[in-house]
Structure 1
Amino acid sequence: MKVVNDSQPRVAIVTGGAKGIGRGCALELAACGMDIALVDLLDDELARTKSEIEALGRRCLTFHADVANFAAAQKIGADIANQWGRIDVLFNNAGKANPKGLLDISEEEFDRTIEINLKSCFNWCRAVVPTMQAQGAGRIINMSSINAHSGGVTSAVSKFSYAAAKAGILGLTRSLAKELGPQITVNALCPGLIKTETPNAVIRAREEELVTGIVLNRCGTPQDIAQVVKFLATSEPMFITGQDFIIDGFQWKL
């Protein structure tokens, strides 16, 4: 039974929403008329993005939380549902790179990479799905990576532990799409080289060289990702679920 209050604006949760891709996608969803809940550990950046969302005329809640914390996700998810009466979109964007190879990484570092990138998706899906099921609809978008397909390469963001976590997200996405359909769609994004407002040192040092391996001859931007997030979050009707979208400008030289 659908219990959502359709008189209220749609609500999107964006983890890792303080800056970079998360910020860009949160602003795009706000521009589409959604109220936004941001989850991150970066308080100053959270405040800035909140102000930008409110300047678009939308409401914004911010939560200082570690996305790998299961209990925090459940509490925040319940708080958002209680305060705003609905949760329509979850964008599991938060993640963290680990540039260390097999013989350099510690067990604790490997576990933390899996927790932030993969377990966080479980945490937040578990937090929002009851609300989405009660209202009879929902959209979940999980952030994976091109490295889920290619494995880790020379980029500082894509060694094996990161690639393994991002590949796990694809399995989670396909499985939850089957489990939660037809009311809830679950899809994944696999970005390639994305240049944010604070690009990593590898991109800064090697950008000209790196883009020669991209057919569209440039790095991607948060806005490139935001257009796909907007499509998956807002398009009606929606006959796409369980898919992973490669957004890399055709990065043929990995």
Structure 2
Amino acid sequence: MTDKVAVVTGSARGIGRGCALELARRGYDIVIVDMLAPEMHRTAGEITALGRQVMTEEADVADHARAKAIAAAVQARFGRIDVLVNNAGRGNPTGIFDITEEGFDRTIAINLKSCFNYIQAFAPMMLDGGGGRIVSMSSLNAHTGGVTSAVSKFSYAAAKAGIIGMTKALAKELGPTIAINCVCPGIIETEVGNSLTKSRGPELAKKIVLNRLGTPADVAQLVAFLACTEPFFITGQAFTIDGFQWEI
């Protein structure tokens, strides 16, 4: 696996960083796509320390043309892509009567349109190379609509639900050469979620069967399974990883 390449969007920190590091440990060279330059370069250093090559691309994932340009740069440097992890996303806690049209559009663009951008940009390279895996990050809120999370309002839930529909449809369109699945995390302790988890962590943990909040490493293990496992007979699926939440 020493010559395989994974592109991970939103991988400067949080779940994306966890996924990038786990794939690097499993022998993948990593392309980091993010807007957070300092954190991106920190993660790049961690990947280099694992003995893997790393490429950093500062980008707004909602930018369709930028996704195409990054795909061309990856083709020029590595000549291939084996795994695409669409992890970049952003919450929006604004309710239906307060959200602006621009706010709604931005939520959809970052969370859902970004998956379209990067799949359309990288799938041709995967097909030319004989196949690949795509894993997109949905959310438990896609199923529940969310209640307690700061990112659980309707626009975020709608975008994440769209990822499930896109995954199922594209599994049929891109198969059998490309397998595509998505992951639906529950409450995960990340830098973004710290304000929620620090103040309400023990309370929220009591509502989870495994009695703790999730970590980026938990999600990364599932993503790596979907990205690396051989033989493989899974596509078009949405996997919930939430420690089994009773009522959240």
TM over 0.5: yes
Aligned residue for 2:122, secondary structure, equals: helix
User: Conserved in 1, the CA contact under 8 Å of 2:140 and 2:146?
Assistant: no
Matching residue of 2:145: 151
Deviation at 1:35, TM superposition (A): 0.2
Cα distance in 2 between the residues matched to 1:199 and 1:156: 8
Matching residue of 1:3: none
Aligned residue for 1:176, secondary structure, equals: helix
Deviation at 1:78, TM superposition (A): 1.4
- Specify the code of the residue in structure 1 equivalent to 2:9: T
| 1:89-104 alignment runs, 5 A limit | 89-104=83-98
- Specify the code of the residue in structure 2 equivalent to 1:101: G
From 135, 141, 150, give the equivalent of 1:141: 135
Aligned residue for 2:16, secondary structure, equals: helix
From 218, 221, 225, give the equivalent of 1:231: 225
Deviation at 1:41, TM superposition (A): 0.4
Matching residue of 1:178: 172
Matching residue of 2:57: 63
Cα distance in 1 between the residues matched to 2:20 and 2:36: 15
C-alpha distance after superposition, 1:35-59 (max 9, x if no partner): 0000000000011000000000000
Deviation at 1:198, TM superposition (A): 5.1
Matching residue of 1:82: 76
C-alpha distance after superposition, 1:167-186 (max 9, x if no partner): 00000000000000001000
Aligned residue for 2:33, secondary structure, equals: strand
- Identity value in percent: 62
From 166, 176, 197, give the equivalent of 2:160: 166
User: Conserved in 1, the CA contact under 8 Å of 2:142 and 2:157?
Assistant: yes
Deviation at 1:152, TM superposition (A): 2.8
From 25, 29, 44, give the equivalent of 2:19: 25
1:130 matched to 2:130? The reply is no
| 1:31-50 alignment runs, 5 A limit | 31-50=25-44
Deviation at 1:204, TM superposition (A): 1.6
From 181, 184, 190, give the equivalent of 1:190: 184
Deviation at 1:199, TM superposition (A): 3.1
- Specify the code of the residue in structure 1 equivalent to 2:125: T
Deviation at 1:136, TM superposition (A): 1.3
| 1:113-124 alignment runs, 5 A limit | 113-124=107-118
- Specify the code of the residue in structure 2 equivalent to 1:81: Q
Deviation at 1:253, TM superposition (A): 1.1
Which stretches in structure 2 are left out of the alignment for 5+ residues? none
Normalized against structure 2, the TM-score is what? 0.98
Deviation at 1:102, TM superposition (A): 0.5
C-alpha distance after superposition, 1:155-195 (max 9, x if no partner): 11111000000000000000000000001000000000000
Normalized against structure 1, the TM-score is what? 0.96
CA RMSD of aligned residues (A): 1.0
Aligned residue for 2:125, secondary structure, equals: helix
